[in-house]
Amino acid sequence: MTALGYNFGYLDENTKRMIRRAILKAVAIPGHQVPFGAREMPLPYGWGTGGIAVTASIIGTADTLKVIDQGADDTTNAVSIRRFFAKVTGVATTERTGEASIIQTRHRIPETPLRQGQILVYQVPMPEPLFRLEPRLAETRRMHALADYGLMHVKLYEDIARHGHVAISYGYPVLVGGRYLMSPSPIPAFDNPKMDRMPALQLFGAGREKRIYAVPPYTSVRSLDFEDHPFVPVRADAACALCQSRESYLDEVVVDDQGGRMFVCSDTDYCGTRQSHREAAE
């Protein structure tokens, strides 16, 4: 019991066990969506209950937690979730990617490569990669069961015919372990290559749809494409205005009310670390 009288990790032990069972199954079948039956969690909307349920079920006293939202540690949501877990578990928290054992994320993968032993927990708003193409859930389940993914390629074909390229910037569909079509949650397509053979375990929690899926360490994750239109991870063609990085994913931010704009890293830890290294070198 923590000081507040909550069970460790907020969820009761039965719920955590149920979610852990779903996680184990998800790890055993990479990319396959596993339903879980957890009761409704009394949490504010927009917190990412799926991600929180996963984190709450895997976190232990020895863990160090990092929480990011759109790459940043300091947004309202990231701060709230980090404080929440600090309260209900008492574990250490950090903003440093390298120091965290669990990273809960919404919409980004950190720039600093993850290593074996770390776990990346994604908050997923919509787990079904086919939902825009096939609204019938029973049919999408059948398509997954039969690995019948021609329809997703039709969508890519249509994009190229219409726009000259695949017009998916976020949540670009991937094939996991050569078998299951998976939505990587709305991370930028730029982040997709980081998922491929990542040494860290990747867990995905969708609260509303009550689905968990996983990519075990060192699993192949391939972005769908055509031989003559290969997948290209795109980023703005600029350097970060703060750390000058030309490798990181950039956000365009408005800097004044004259319409001035600049590009900065979306990963605040990566950017801050680079800035302090530069200062130290000067």
Partner 1 sequence: MSAPLLQASGLSLRFGAIAALDDVALEIHPGEVVAIVGESGSGKTTLLRVLSGLMRPEAGTVRYRDPAGAVHSVHDMGEAAMRRLHRSDWGFVHQNPRDGLRMRVSAGGNIGERLMAVGARHYGGIRAEATAWLQRVEIDPERIDGMPDKFSGGMQQRLQIARTLVTHPRLVFMDEPTGGLDVSVQAKLLDMIRGLVADLGLAVLIVTHDIAAARLLAHRLLVMRHGRVVEQGLTDRVLDDPQHEYTQLLVASVLAA
Residues 121 and 102: beta-carbon distance below 8 Å: yes
Alpha-carbon radius of gyration of the chain: 19
Q: Is 241 in the site for Zn ion (CB under 5 A)?
A: no
Question: b or e along 239-272 (b: 16 or more beta carbons within 10 Å of the residue's beta carbon)?
Answer: ebebbebeebbbeeeeeeeeeeeebbbbbbbbbb
| Cβ neighbours of 230 (radius 10 Å) | 8
Nearer to partner 1, 5 or 150 (CB): 150
Enumerate residues 124-143 that contact partner 1 by CB under 8 A: 142
Active-site choice (9, 48, 171, 265): 265
Shortest distance in whole angstroms from residue 139 CB to partner 1: 12
Give the integer Cα–Cα distance in Å for 263 and 271: 12
Stretch that binds partner 1, among 69-77, 104-112, 120-128, 226-234 (CB under 8 A): 226-234
Q: Which of 57, 89, 265, 268 binds Zn ion (CB under 5 A)?
A: 265
Stretch that binds partner 1, among 36-44, 49-57, 58-66, 151-159 (CB under 8 A): 151-159
Q: Is 163 in the site for partner 1 (CB under 8 A)?
A: no
Helix (H) or strand (E) holding 14: helix 13-28
Residues 211 and 36: beta-carbon distance below 8 Å: yes
Q: Is 29 in the site for partner 1 (CB under 8 A)?
A: no
Shortest distance in whole angstroms from residue 225 CB to partner 1: 8
Q: Report helix, strand or coil for 276.
A: helix
Q: Which of 148, 196, 209, 251 binds partner 1 (CB under 8 A)?
A: 148
Longest CA pairwise span in the chain (Å)? 61
Active-site choice (31, 50, 171, 207): 31
Nearer to Zn ion, 18 or 250 (CB): 250
Active site annotation includes 265:
yes
The residue type found at 201 is L
Question: b or e along 156-174 (b: 16 or more beta carbons within 10 Å of the residue's beta carbon)?
Answer: beeeeeeeeebeeeebbbb
Q: Is 160 in the site for partner 1 (CB under 8 A)?
A: yes
Helix and strand element counts for the chain (H, E):
7, 12
Residues 139 and 148: beta-carbon distance below 8 Å: no
Active-site choice (9, 50, 71, 240): 240
Q: Is 243 in the site for Zn ion (CB under 5 A)?
A: yes
Which residue ranges make up the site for partner 1 (CB under 8 A)? 142, 145-146, 148, 150-151, 153-154, 157-158, 160-162, 225-229
Which residue ranges make up the site for Zn ion (CB under 5 A)? 240, 242-243, 245, 265, 271
Q: Give the active site residues.
A: 31, 240, 243, 265, 271
